């Protein structure tokens, strides 16, 4: 995948889309992605990885062994997932000469016979094939319980490499506003405004702010984990603001609602309100 998916965008996916994207992070174990989905939103790739590893460890020994058994042996011909194929190819494990391939097959068989599951190691964390074989030999000295824990830790390392390939800790987008009063040529200082998320059964209030001397709010209205896809509405209390500035009847507009949609939570969204005595304008800025 040429484009890495921002974590903020990932947080906006429904369960099926989330699992479709991340189901292969742990080899043949989409249930881990499904279990992690309920922990959204994630602040970072590291937070997502921690949630997936927690789901793995909470699953119990039977699923642990099944997960390890689903991993392919290194340097063994056969169908591989695209991720496994790329990982093995990075160390030339797909291009062994016959004698070297036979030695790998022998070592893999010894390991599987001792522990009951294939040798699993994060090959991208190893220097070369010789280092991988040395690691295999050293791990043959472990007892079964210790080796099970080490193998699961290697699975977690592999998952982190794969997540880093797929996702990006791109700073989450933000929502900002700016009020300008064309009647005076000055910023709309001190205007109250509210933000709502528009749901099928009505609006959900997200917060209330007041503009500063520049006609802006001191902090983004949405940022980080709160910045998710959806339909929103800003309501500017124009009438009360004009009344507070000496306009006896509060001007023509009482409130100005602006309804808009966020489809890319990783992007900056800026919503200016440009006021005139009998009209207003707005646009999508950044």
Residue pair 217/177 in contact by the 8 Å Cβ criterion: yes
pLDDT of 286 higher than 50: yes
Would you list the domain boundaries of the chain? 5-168, 174-282
**Interior/surface letters 200-233, b for 16+ CB within 10 angstroms, e for the rest:** eeebeeeeebebeeebbbeebbbbebbbbeeebe
Report the distance separating Cα 196 and Cα 234, nearest Å.
6
pLDDT in tens, 178-231: 999 998 999 999 999 999 999 999 999 999 999 999 999 998 999 877 888 999
Residue pair 132/99 in contact by the 8 Å Cβ criterion: no
3-state secondary structure (DSSP) of residue 233: strand
Q: Under CATH, which number does the domain 174-282 receive? A: 2.60.40.180
Mean pLDDT value across the chain: 92
Q: Which CATH architecture has domain 5-168?
A: Orthogonal Bundle (1.10)
pLDDT in tens, 87-114: 999 999 988 999 999 999 999 999 999 9
Report the distance separating Cα 15 and Cα 168, nearest Å.
19
For β-strands 268-276 and 174-181, DSSP reports them as: parallel
Q: What percent of the chain has pLDDT over 70?
A: 97
Question: Is the model more confident about 8 or about 278?
Answer: 278
The residues annotated as belonging to the active site are: 71
What is the maximum alpha-carbon separation in the chain?
Answer: 94
């Amino acid at each position: 995948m040429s484009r890495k998916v921002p974590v903020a965008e990932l947080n906006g996916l429904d369960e099926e889309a989330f699992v479709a994207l991340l189901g292969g992070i742990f080899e043949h174990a989409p249930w881990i992605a499904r279990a992690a989905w309920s922990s959204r939103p994630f602040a970072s790739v590291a937070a997502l990885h921690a949630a997936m590893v927690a789901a793995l460890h909470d699953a119990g020994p039977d699923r642990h062994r099944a997960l390890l058994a689903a991993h392919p042996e290194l340097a063994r011909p056969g169908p591989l997932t695209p991720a496994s194929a790329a990982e093995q190819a990075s160390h030339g494990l797909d291009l062994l000469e016959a004698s070297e391939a036979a030695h790998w097959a022998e070592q893999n068989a010894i390991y599987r016979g001792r522990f009951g599951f294939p040798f699993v190691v994060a090959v991208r964390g190893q220097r070369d094939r010789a280092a991988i074989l040395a690691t295999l030999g050293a791990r043959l000295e472990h007892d079964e319980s210790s080796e099970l824990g080490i193998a699961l830790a290697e699975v977690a390392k592999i998952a982190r490499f794969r997540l880093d390939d797929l996702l990006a800790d791109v700073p989450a987008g933000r929502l900002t506003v700016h009020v300008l009063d064309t009647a005076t040529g000055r910023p709309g200082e001190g205007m109250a405004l509210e933000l709502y998320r528009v749901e099928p059964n009505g609006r959900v209030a997200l917060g209330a702010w007041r503009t500063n001397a520049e006609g802006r709010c001191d902090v983004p209205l949405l940022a980080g984990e709160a910045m998710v896809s959806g339909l929103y509405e800003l309501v500017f209390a124009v009438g009360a603001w004009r009344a507070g500035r000496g306009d006896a009847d509060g001007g023509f507009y009482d409130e100005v609602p602006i309804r808009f949609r966020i489809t890319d939570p990783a992007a900056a969204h800026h919503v200016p309100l440009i006021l005139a005595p009998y009209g207003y304008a707005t646009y999508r800025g950044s």
